[in-house]
Amino acid sequence: MGRLEDKVALVTGAASGIGAACALRFAEEGARVAGLDLQGPVDGAAWDAAVKAAPDAWFREAVDVRDEGQVREAVAAVRERFGRIDVLVNAAGVGGFSVAHLCEEEEWDRTVDINLKGSWLVTKHVLPAMLEQASGSVIHLASVEGIEGMGGSLAYNASKGGVVLMTKNMAIDYAKLGVRVNCLCPGLIDTPLTELLQGEELAAVRNRMLEWHAMGRAGKPEEVAACALFLASDDASFVTGHSLVVDGGWTAGRSATG
C-alpha cells in the first residue's frame, strides 16, 4: 500500500518541473491526482504511465492560477470527479530577475500574482473541501529566496517571502480544524524554470550558485517531490507551519575553506 492510498491530490504547475514530479510521485504512492497548468504535460509519456498505474489520475490544461473564475471552476471539477481533496500542492510559479529601480510594474505583478496570489487563490477554493472533511494537507512551494535575500531578484524574493509567511498564517488559522499547511523551500533545482542558467552567458552565475550549496550540485525535482510526499502523508501528522528547506546546504551557511 502506498503512503497516499485512497487520497486525492491536486497539484498546480503539474506540467513540468517540481509540480510534475510531485504529481507523478503521488500517483505512484496510490493517490488519485489532478494536475492543473496552463500547458499540457511536458513529459506526456510519464503522465500517460502515471494514468496507467493510477487510472483516476488526470490532467486539466489552461488553468491560470491568477484567475479566480478559472480556479473556482477547476477545483469544483476535481471535487465533482473525486468527491474530496486531501492534498494540495501549489507548485505553479515563475522566476524573475530585477532590482527595484528597474523593475517594471508588469514584471512585479506577474511574479507576485502567480507565485503568491495564485497559491492563495487555489488554497482558498480547496479549503472548503478540507474543512468539510476536517482533514487536509496544503503544501506551498516557496524557495530559499523566501528565507534569505538574493541580489537582483526583487519580485521573486518578495513573492516567496510572502509564501513563507502566508504558510505560517494559514497553519495557525486552520490547525484546530484539521488542516496542516507547510511549505517547501528548494535551492537551485534543475527544471525548465532554471534552464536559462545552463546557457553559456549565465554559466558563471550558475557555477556561483552551485558553490552556495554545500553539496556542490543542483537538486532534482524528484528530490523535492520526496519531501512533498512526506508533508502530504500521515508521517507528517504533527507538522504544520513549517518551511522545509530542500537546498543541499544552501541556507546552512558558507565555507571559508572552499
The residue ranges of every structural domain in the chain are 8-192+221-244
Distance CA(57)–CA(164), nearest Å, equals 29
pLDDT at 44 over 80: no
Mean local confidence (pLDDT), 98-104:
92
Digit-coded pLDDT (tens) for 57-69 = 888 878 999 999 9
C-alpha cell at 215: 553539496
Angle, helices 118-133 vs 68-82, to 10°: value is 30
Digit-coded pLDDT (tens) for 25-42 = 999 999 999 999 998 887
Mean local confidence (pLDDT), 247-253:
90
Distance CA(146)–CA(144), nearest Å, equals 5
Domain boundaries 8-192+221-244, CATH class: alpha beta
pLDDT of residue 42: 74
Q: What is the CA radius of gyration of the chain?
A: 18
Q: Is the CB of residue 58 less than 8 Å from the CB of residue 82?
A: no
The catalytic position among 47, 82, 156, 174 is 156
Q: Residue for cell digits 492534498?
A: 87
Q: Is 156 a catalytic residue?
A: yes
Q: Is the CB of residue 93 less than 8 Å from the CB of residue 46?
A: no
Higher pLDDT pick, 150 / 82:
82
Digit-coded pLDDT (tens) for 180-220 = 999 999 998 887 665 555 556 556 766 777 788 888 888 99
